[in-house]
């Protein structure tokens, strides 16, 4: 495996080590961290460890720049929750925040320095259309108007097409499950909703219990196939495990819950790669107790895919096999989401759309320049 990211992993595992890095190390590390979406996290870790002043001033400035952006996003999510509390006040049952928005709103361990774009909400399936209607009244518009995309989301997936607020331009993803309707694993979102606890500042909203936060993070990473931020998502998982790992009964509840929700396999992968890359402290027997874990040969085979995929964090540490690995995982993520008769036509269509979008994606200079 590459050693070009040795300093990045060391900084994440042992933040105090950053105090000893010279400017040549930082010249690569800042770029790697920025590309991986982890520069803000390094800044937050340095601040927490009390070593911020020991870093070169230019490096501190770059970290502060990203942390400024992260703080703005956290403020923005809090404002959204003020508005959404009103918009969704008539909804029955809990509305649960997931991932980045949950970390920001509830001050959870992965939050400091983390950038995120969308707000993810989980509601009971019976409430999904009422929620959507309420959001539309509140100024949220659905973004995907293509009838195929609408069907993809509404009939097959676990979420509606993303909605954008007409004035504030915030993007919201409304979920009724954490895995698609068509997925090979049939999990139980109603149990996640049942175990959620309300936020003190925004009682209309809840966050999943600690075990569910870990399971959702692992499931999202090892099922969704978005490797651009693979290492960042693993760091989220590591932060959650370090925060909750000391709590009495946590590891047992994690295994119990994984069994109940049938998410033992993604949990296994999450724990395995957290240990390998981030040296997350996980009790010796926990990996062995993961339900539905792969056998030793299966785990080694997946190492050949997941480890190169994580290395795509930056071009400097990208493994030679990463292209093949990421493509294979991309197909796998779709295979996990839908049966074959839907999979192949979907992949062909998606690939065609992406080619067209890539041609027009980059900004013309005149738009990029003006503030």
DSSP state of 124: -
Nearer to another protein, 137 or 284 (CB): 137
- Provide, rounded to whole angstroms, the least separation between the CB of residue 317 and another protein: 12
Cα atoms found within 13 Å of the Cα of residue 6, Cβ hemisphere only? 6
Pairing, β 140-142 against β 118-122: unpaired
17 near another protein, rule: CB under 8 A? no
Nearer to another protein, 117 or 126 (CB): 117
Binding mask 340-359 for another protein (x = CB under 8 A): --------------------
- Residues in the chain, overall count: 371
User: Number of residues in contact with another protein, rule: CB under 8 A?
Assistant: 35
DSSP state of 127: G
The footprint of another protein on residues 27-86 (CB under 8 A) is 27, 30-31, 34-35, 56, 58-59, 61-62, 64-66, 68-69, 71-72, 75-76, 78-79, 82
362 near another protein, rule: CB under 8 A? yes
- Provide, rounded to whole angstroms, the least separation between the CB of residue 5 and another protein: 15
368 near another protein, rule: CB under 8 A? yes
* Run of H or E residues at 281: none
Buried b (16+ CB within 10 A) or exposed e, 285-315: ebeebbbebeeeeeeeebeebbbbbbbbbbe
Nearer to another protein, 128 or 231 (CB): 231
Query: Which residue in 273, 272, 234 sits closest to 38, CA to CA?
Result: 234
Nearer to another protein, 48 or 201 (CB): 201
Non-local CB neighbours of 264 within 8 Å, separated by 6+ positions: 255, 258, 290, 291, 292, 293
The Cα–Cα gap between 116 and 138 comes to 22
371 near another protein, rule: CB under 8 A? yes
Nearer to another protein, 257 or 319 (CB): 319
Nearer to another protein, 126 or 354 (CB): 354
Nearer to another protein, 62 or 265 (CB): 62
296 near another protein, rule: CB under 8 A? no
Nearer to another protein, 34 or 49 (CB): 34
Contact with another protein (CB under 8 A): which of 5, 26, 222, 306? 26
Question: Bridge-partner residues for 121, per DSSP?
Answer: 97, 174
- Provide, rounded to whole angstroms, the least separation between the CB of residue 368 and another protein: 6
What are 342's two structure tokens?
A: 């839907």
Q: Is 152 exposed, middle or buried (0-12, 13-18, 19+ CB in 10 A)?
A: buried
The Cα–Cα gap between 153 and 52 comes to 44
- Provide, rounded to whole angstroms, the least separation between the CB of residue 85 and another protein: 11
- Provide, rounded to whole angstroms, the least separation between the CB of residue 39 and another protein: 10
Query: Which residue in 158, 160, 181, 189 sits closest to 172, CA to CA?
Result: 160
Contact with another protein (CB under 8 A): which of 129, 315, 349, 353? 315
Nearer to another protein, 76 or 130 (CB): 76
* Spatial contact of 196 and 208, defined as CB atoms under 8 Å apart: yes
Contact with another protein (CB under 8 A): which of 23, 89, 248, 288? 23
Cα atoms found within 13 Å of the Cα of residue 56, Cβ hemisphere only? 13
Classified as helix, coil or strand, 333 is helix
Name the site residues for another protein (rule: CB under 8 A). Answer: 23-24, 26-27, 30-31, 34-35, 56, 58-59, 61-62, 64-66, 68-69, 71-72, 75-76, 78-79, 82, 315, 362-366, 368-371
């Amino acid at each position: 495996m590459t050693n070009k990211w040795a300093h990045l992993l060391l900084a994440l595992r042992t933040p105090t080590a950053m105090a000893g890095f010279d400017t040549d190390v930082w010249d690569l590390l800042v770029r790697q961290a920025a590309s991986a979406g982890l520069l803000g996290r390094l800044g937050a870790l340095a601040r927490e460890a009390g070593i911020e002043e020991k870093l070169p001033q230019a490096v501190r400035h770059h970290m502060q720049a990203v942390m400024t952006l992260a703080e703005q996003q956290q403020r923005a999510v809090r404002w959204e929750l003020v508005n959404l509390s009103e918009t969704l006040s008539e909804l029955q049952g809990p509305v649960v925040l997931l991932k980045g928005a949950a970390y920001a709103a509830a001050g959870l361990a992965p939050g400091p320095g983390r950038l995120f774009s969308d707000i993810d909400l989980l509601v009971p399936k019976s409430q999904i259309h009422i929620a959507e209607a309420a959001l539309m009244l509140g100024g949220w518009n659905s973004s995907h108007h293509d009838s195929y995309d609408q069907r993809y989301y509404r009939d097959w997936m676990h979420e509606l097409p993303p909605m954008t607020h007409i004035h504030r331009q915030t993007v919201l993803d409304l979920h009724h499950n954490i895995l698609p309707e068509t997925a090979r694993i049939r999990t139980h979102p109603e149990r996640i909703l049942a175990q959620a606890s309300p936020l003190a500042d925004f009682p209309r909203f809840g966050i999943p219990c600690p075990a569910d936060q870990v399971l959702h993070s692992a499931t999202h990473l090892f099922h969704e196939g978005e490797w651009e931020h693979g290492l960042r998502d693993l760091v989220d998982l590591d932060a959650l495990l370090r925060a909750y790992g000391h709590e009495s009964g946590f590891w047992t509840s994690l295994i119990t819950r994984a069994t109940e929700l049938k998410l033992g396999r993604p949990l296994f992968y999450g724990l395995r790669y957290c240990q390998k890359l981030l040296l997350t402290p996980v009790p010796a027997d926990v990996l062995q107790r993961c339900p539905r874990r792969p056998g030793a040969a299966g785990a080694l085979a997946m190492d050949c895919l997941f480890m190169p995929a994580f290395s795509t964090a930056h071009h400097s540490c990208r493994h030679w096999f990463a292209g093949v690995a990421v493509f294979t995982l991309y197909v796998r993520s779709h295979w996990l989401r839908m049966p074959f008769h839907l999979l192949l036509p979907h992949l062909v269509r998606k690939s065609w759309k992406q080619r067209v979008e890539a041609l027009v994606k980059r900004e013309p200079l005149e738009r990029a320049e003006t503030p």
